[in-house]
Chains A and B, each alone.
Chain A
Amino acid sequence: MTVTASRAAQAGRVVLPRLLAGAGQQLVVGLAEHEREYGTLWLRGRSGQRRPERLIDMVEAAGLTGRGGAGFPTGRKMRSVAGRGEAVVVANGAEGEPASAKDRLLLTYLPHLVLDGITLAADAVGATEAYLCVHRQEHDLIDGLAAAVAERGRAGLDPVPIQITGIPGRYVSSEQSSIVQYLNGGPGKPTFSPPRPHDSGVQGRPTLVNNVETLAHVALIARHGDHWFRGAGLPSAPGSMLVTVDGAVQWPGVYEIELGTAAGEVVMLAGGPAEDLQALLIGGYFGAWLPVEVAWPVRMTQASLRAVGGALGAGVVIALPGSSCGLAETARVVRYLAEQGAGQCGPCLMGLPALAGAVADLAFQGGRGRAIEAIAALLPLIEGRGACRHPDGATQLARSAMRTFIADARWHDQCGPCDGVSRAPLLPIPEDGEEDWNWT
């Protein structure tokens, strides 16, 4: 998929792009250009006074929520870490979601926006250590980030040095407790909570773990204020967000939208459907399928999507054409998610392969009239029974597929696979056999 940045603004109001203002040339934005485009960062205030907690007030008033998938209020998260001794800030740039490309776009082309955010957050919560975590097999990305950090070091920008850290590439390793465990010398698997990172994280210290896009928004809120931030989006879901649009659209890529934009409008931003569509997968592999007629008018907010059984997730929108088989697409992803588990919790270790097998049977073999029931019986045995949300993500996807493609499912169950099964897979599944496939 090509990574493109849109400068398209919403009709009537020209408030975007914000994060992507400096992107679009497919060039890395260096420090000088970054400051020209976004403005200089005044960590100590123009007059030199220091009140770092003011940033937390601003982030809270802005109503910024986490852009990594969970959607937790960022200001509240920062406040839970601040003022409790020497804290640690961890920027999560691992982008475990295989269908998402927005974090990599930010880190590749606009690294200083993220690095500004890390420095601001570290200052606000009183951190003495800061980490930026990306997948360890992404050598080019790590080199680029190291160069950006060095450039900032020469300019004396980051009072708390930012350490670029490569973490294992597995899906569950980008979960926040996994990252904390990895930084503490562990293999990078989710841990049983509590304690949560904000109470006892890296080296047992209060630890703020934020997605890199979230931190990039913090960098803009520090410059322009909370009122400016609320100039985009809805009062209940303010600001802008990055979305990755893929599948049967004209121009797949990363776009910046206002929260509350209709999902159909997002597809139109990407040039519109390339074929007749039957469904949208919103939120990625931790999200949900929605029939296209349901999804089209739904606003891109956590609340609106929840109301129709969906999820905002990390802002992935994938358009499924009518000629594809949604069950086959789901079967491949559930199989991938089953293989990507940490293998720690029984219901996930045993349940996800069973679920993957049942969905694959339905999709590729036909179920002899029993597969739909078998899947329905497995879902409640898996949901909510892991230490992390990994199994819940897989069941949410499978459940939404059984709802959205129920007519197809009945056909498969009674008559065998449909023609769509033979179509080339649409949803990206990362190659296995990567260098850190096995736990170290």
Chain B
Amino acid sequence: MSHQLRVNPIACNGHGVCAELLPEIIELDPWGYPILRSAKVPPALVMHARRAVATCPTLALLLERAQDRRP
């Protein structure tokens, strides 16, 4: 089971809190909106990702569990 981040671009207003709390994955574009370097969240960063998700003022950052892939 791995975790993935996703931004709801409609909800996002570019507060930029996520990039401060999770600079390992999130950077900001010239207008202040988040760019995810990769959607996948390494296990070591999951706690930090949760905090970024919880702190987003517009709840635009989503942490989802990637589907198990079984043959």
Enumerate chain A interface residues (CB-CB to B < 8 A): 190-192, 344-348, 350-351, 381, 385-387
Contact B33 A387 (CB under 8 A): no
Contact B9 A385 (CB under 8 A): yes
Contact B30 A192 (CB under 8 A): no
Min CB–CB distance B32 → chain A (angstroms): 7
Chain A residues with CB under 8 A of B12: 345-346
- Count, chain B residues at interface, CB 8 A: 13
Min CB–CB distance A107 → chain B (angstroms): 31
- The 8 Å CB contact of B13, one of A190, A346, A385, A387, is A346
**B45 interfacial contact with A, CB 8 Å:** no
Contact A346 B8 (CB under 8 A): no
**Secondary structure call for the A interface:** loop
**B47 interfacial contact with A, CB 8 Å:** no
Q: Which 9 A-B pairs have the closest CB atoms?
A: A345-B9, A346-B33, A350-B31, A344-B10, A192-B8, A387-B10, A192-B10, A381-B29, A387-B9
Nearest-neighbor residue (CB-CB) of A344 within chain B: B10
**B11 interfacial contact with A, CB 8 Å:** yes
Contact A387 B32 (CB under 8 A): no
Enumerate chain B interface residues (CB-CB to A < 8 A): 8-14, 29-33, 35
Nearest-neighbor residue (CB-CB) of A346 within chain B: B33
Interface centre among B10, B29, B31 (most CB of A within 10 A): B10
Nearest-neighbor residue (CB-CB) of B30 within chain A: A381
Contact B29 A386 (CB under 8 A): no
A351-B29 Cα distance, complex, nearest whole Å: 10
Name 29 A/B residue pairs within 8 A (Cβ), A-sorted.
Answer: A190-B10, A191-B10, A192-B10, A344-B9, A344-B10, A345-B9, A345-B10, A345-B12, A346-B9, A346-B12, A346-B13, A346-B29, A346-B31, A346-B32, A346-B33, A347-B9, A347-B29, A347-B31, A348-B9, A350-B30, A350-B31, A351-B29, A351-B31, A381-B30, A385-B33, A385-B35, A386-B9, A387-B8, A387-B9
Min CB–CB distance A391 → chain B (angstroms): 9
A346-B11 Cα distance, complex, nearest whole Å: 9
Chain B residues with CB under 8 A of A385: 9, 33, 35
Chain B residues with CB under 8 A of A344: 9-10
A278-B46 Cα distance, complex, nearest whole Å: 53
Nearest-neighbor residue (CB-CB) of B13 within chain A: A346
Chain A residues with CB under 8 A of B8: 192, 387
Chain A residues with CB under 8 A of B35: 381, 385
